[in-house]
Amino acid sequence: MPPTHSPPSSHHLPSNPQIKRFLEATDDTELNKFVKDFPGSESCHQPEAKTWVSRPQVLEPKPQAPDLYQDDLEFKGPSWPQPSDSQQYFSASAPLSPSARPRSPWGKLDPYDSSEDDKEYVGFATLPNQVHRKSVKKGFDFTLMVAGESGLGKSTLVNSLFLTDLYRDRKLLGAEERIMQTVEITKHAVDIEEKGVRLRLTIVDTPGFGDAVNNTECWKPVAEYIDQQFEQYFRDESGLNRKNIQDNRVHCCLYFISPFGHGLRPLDVEFMKALHQRVNIVPILAKADTLTPPEVERKKRKIREEIEHFGIKVYQFPDCDSDEDEDFKLQDQALKESIPFAVIGSNTVVEARGRRVRGRLYPWGIVEVENPGHCDFVKLRTMLVRTHMQDLKDVTRETHYENYRAQCIQSMTRLVVKERNRNKLTRESGTDFPIPAVPPGTDPETERLIREKDEEVRAVWGGRG
């Protein structure tokens, strides 16, 4: 497996060789075994539905103790050190003798459990494992949007990427029905589990995009959908019940470009320009097997130039740290130069050179989806799943959602100022705070929470006025 973000480089590690050894020795197998065996951790392998929810990311740092400690209480097993025990760690001037030490639930993974010589351990070297354990327990979620003209191989590629059949119930429209077709937004969700790690994958599709005779502004429903998810999240995190927010924000949009045109079409430019401030766009050159290698290179170069020319901001891969190892840097460079990813999709397994591979069988030969010499499928999958999934989520949260939130707050503030000025003129004692109307169809409980929150905000703004 190619390296993800590399482990902390040696100068970040404590100089003590025991800690270093512990960090190096802690692999997933041991961790999973611990998670299985640890008393009280049954919920890890038999999760209840309620544990399988996406949790809001804390946008602003809180002054209290980190979330890591607050939220992990339910995992506490009978042998977990009690507060009084931990008090002892911190108040003791010298480390306790091994027999007096509280038993660690980490067993042999815990440097605290090491030999008599290792007296200087406090135990914080287990922090990465605690974070790992908590994340594994909670599971991960990711929302991927696919957009582009129909027939470019979007569904085939999604199925090939995640080895699932997400489009079982898809109904394809005939030419006549498509003439006036409007863009729909559909969602497919699937829970995937791999080596004990669960991923809730949501695919947002845009059937009908670019299909009608007149495609003017057909990006609008897509932009509205993305904004609605931000709005919902904004309302939820401003409400009282922030614990169980369902996060449906779109983390990445794979935008499919036809291999048959000469670079970008006006529709592609319009779509990407309208969406690039809202979502991480990753451009894809579809059906690369219909092009020769020089054609692929030429088209890629042209598309890159046009993206630059039209000021489109597609997803930018973060720069490597300077202390990253050389292989990782090369891999990162290759990834950046592959944009737009030229891909081939297939849901068929064929026999090539005595091996069974996912590919497309033609009279003149076989194209293999996972052969890096044939297309960028593996690079795309590596980027999306193995190396940049978390970064895509971070950019969504820290850039796209923050932009939306800032705009919302700005327009709310403008409304307040306008309202205040109006009230001054009419000499009314107005402190009304105009919160955007509750969307129609909101259930009474949500309405009540929103009303309570509105009143809180009014009180704060009234107090300042």
Name the residue nearer to ligand GDP (CB basis): 137 or 188: 188
Name the β-bridge partners of 351: 356
Q: Give residues with Cβ within 8 angstroms of 349, minimum separation 6.
A: 356, 357, 358, 359
**Which of the residues 306 through 345 are near ligand GDP (CB under 6 A)?**
344-345
- State the nearest-atom distance from the C-beta of 151 to ligand GDP, in Å: 5
- State the nearest-atom distance from the C-beta of 366 to ligand GDP, in Å: 12
Name the residue nearer to ligand GDP (CB basis): 226 or 342: 342
Q: Give residues with Cβ within 8 angstroms of 430, minimum separation 6.
A: 419, 420, 422, 423
208 forms part of the interface with ligand GDP (CB under 6 A): no
- State the nearest-atom distance from the C-beta of 294 to ligand GDP, in Å: 18
Range in contact with ligand GDP (rule: CB under 6 A) among 104-112, 126-134, 147-155, 457-465: 147-155
Among 101, 137, 287, 388, binds ligand GDP (CB under 6 A): 287
- State the nearest-atom distance from the C-beta of 283 to ligand GDP, in Å: 15
Q: Give residues with Cβ within 8 angstroms of 165, minimum separation 6.
A: 159, 347
Among 110, 211, 289, 332, binds ligand GDP (CB under 6 A): 289
155 forms part of the interface with ligand GDP (CB under 6 A): yes
211 forms part of the interface with ligand GDP (CB under 6 A): no
CB 44 within 8 A of CB 136: yes
Site string for ligand GDP, 165-204 (x = CB under 6 A): ----------------------------------------
Name the residue nearer to ligand GDP (CB basis): 44 or 344: 344
Cα(103)–Cα(105) distance, integer angstroms: 6
Among 41, 54, 129, 150, binds ligand GDP (CB under 6 A): 150
154 forms part of the interface with ligand GDP (CB under 6 A): yes
- State the nearest-atom distance from the C-beta of 339 to ligand GDP, in Å: 18
Range in contact with ligand GDP (rule: CB under 6 A) among 54-62, 97-105, 282-290, 305-313: 282-290
Tokens 């995009």 sit at which residue?
A: 209
290 forms part of the interface with ligand GDP (CB under 6 A): yes
Task: Residue 396: name the closest of 68, 59, 135 by CA.
Answer: 59
Which residue of the chain is nearest ligand GDP when measured via CB? 153
Range in contact with ligand GDP (rule: CB under 6 A) among 133-141, 270-278, 286-294, 432-440: 286-294
Cα(158)–Cα(380) distance, integer angstroms: 11
Tokens 């999958």 sit at which residue?
A: 381
Name the residue nearer to ligand GDP (CB basis): 373 or 441: 373
- State the nearest-atom distance from the C-beta of 257 to ligand GDP, in Å: 12
152 forms part of the interface with ligand GDP (CB under 6 A): yes
Name the residue nearer to ligand GDP (CB basis): 141 or 289: 289
156 forms part of the interface with ligand GDP (CB under 6 A): yes
Task: Residue 247: name the closest of 262, 237, 259, 256 by CA.
Answer: 237
- State the nearest-atom distance from the C-beta of 378 to ligand GDP, in Å: 14
CB 140 within 8 A of CB 197: yes
Q: How would DSSP label each residue in 186-230?
A: EEEEEEEEETTEEEEEEEEE-TTTTTSS--TTTTHHHHHHHHHHH
Cα(84)–Cα(81) distance, integer angstroms: 8
Q: How would DSSP label each residue in 36-99?
A: HHSTT-HHHHS--GGG----PPP-S--SSS-HHHHTTGGG--TTSPPHHHHHHHHH-SSPPPGG
Cα(138)–Cα(188) distance, integer angstroms: 21
User: Which residues would be at the binding site for ligand GDP (CB under 6 A)?
Assistant: 150-156, 287, 289-290, 344-345
